[in-house]
Amino acid sequence: MNIECIYDQPALLGESPLWNAAEKTLYWVDIEKRALHGFDTTTQKHHMWPMPTEIGCIALHASGGLIAAMRHGFASIALPSGEVTMMNTVLTDADGVMFNDGKCDRAGRFWAGTKDLLEQADIGALYRLDAANNLVEIEKGFAVSNGFAWSPDNKLFYVCNSPSRIIYQYDFDYAAGSITNKRIFAKLPEDSGYPDGVTVDSEGGVWNAHWDGWRLTRYLPNGKIDRVIKMPVRRPTSCCFGGPNLTTLYVTSASTRLTANELKQNPQAGCVFAVEVGIRGLLEPEFCKGTL
């Protein structure tokens, strides 16, 4: 398996990789450094934009630029200026939590989840933001919500509760933007780390980055493990498809809270990688733009 490091300046907590096919650019965030990154895969040029708060996740915005879940609310980010405009939608009860991971569904709604700042208690929740700026709480009971993804036919939704090592699967109602029938899709063994970011390919395969697991796993739609890709970093955090054929899996990683000895064991911790997997992914949906 060809694993290429495409950006070697380590993030503390690299997350939310996002492919912009029109620009041939990969975007991602560093939550703890409060930064947005962009890497033009054609010119090999990199740019970093400082953010006013922690930035948990990003998605493409139909009007241009990005939408982001910041620490306690949402913002639009103009590009290439990086100007941040906070939206008037904020958490009404933000004690002990902050936004973490999230993505857009194919109806153009932005989903984002919160996490317990101590990463212990199930006080986080899942939220859905629509084009009219309506924020709806969808589901409670997450210590660290991670890995939002939808099946190609829009009938299934995947999300992780990372400390419990569980990837959940729900039935998804595309028209209503609702989830039902929660069940366990996969539970990681203790020696496999914790489930972090998730993406789904065109065949319905579910790709998961294992925090503290040194690997990516592709699950078949029935939950069986199809393949495991060993990564050169202990904490791969998330993944997305991109590249000219959508067969490149871009992978972010983290270096935060690793000891000096642990960093010696994986000196590329926090870098961004490109993995050619030979399976085609799906284009990322845009906020305020339905695709069906």
Do 82 and 49 contact (CB within 8 A), yes or no? yes
pTM passes above 0.85: yes
Give per-residue pLDDT as tens, 138-164. 999 999 999 999 999 999 999 999 999
Ranges of each domain in the chain:
3-287
Superfamily for domain range 3-287: TolB, C-terminal domain (2.120.10.30)
User: Distance between CA atoms of 84 and 237, rounded to whole angstroms?
Assistant: 25
In terms of C-beta density within 10 A (0-12 exposed, 13-18 middle, 19 or more buried), how is residue 146 classed?
Answer: buried
Average pLDDT of the segment spanning 214-241: 98
Q: How far apart are CA 283 and CA 292, in angstroms?
A: 13
- pLDDT tens-digit profile of 89-132? 778 677 899 999 999 999 999 999 999 999 999 999 999 999 99
pLDDT in tens, 157-198: 999 999 999 999 999 999 999 999 999 999 999 999 999 999
* Residue type at 210 in one-letter notation: H
Q: Which residues pair with 241 in a beta bridge?
A: 249
Catalytic residues: 196
Close Cβ partners of 239 (under 8 Å, ≥ 6 residues apart)? 17, 197, 198, 199, 207, 209, 216, 249, 250, 251, 252
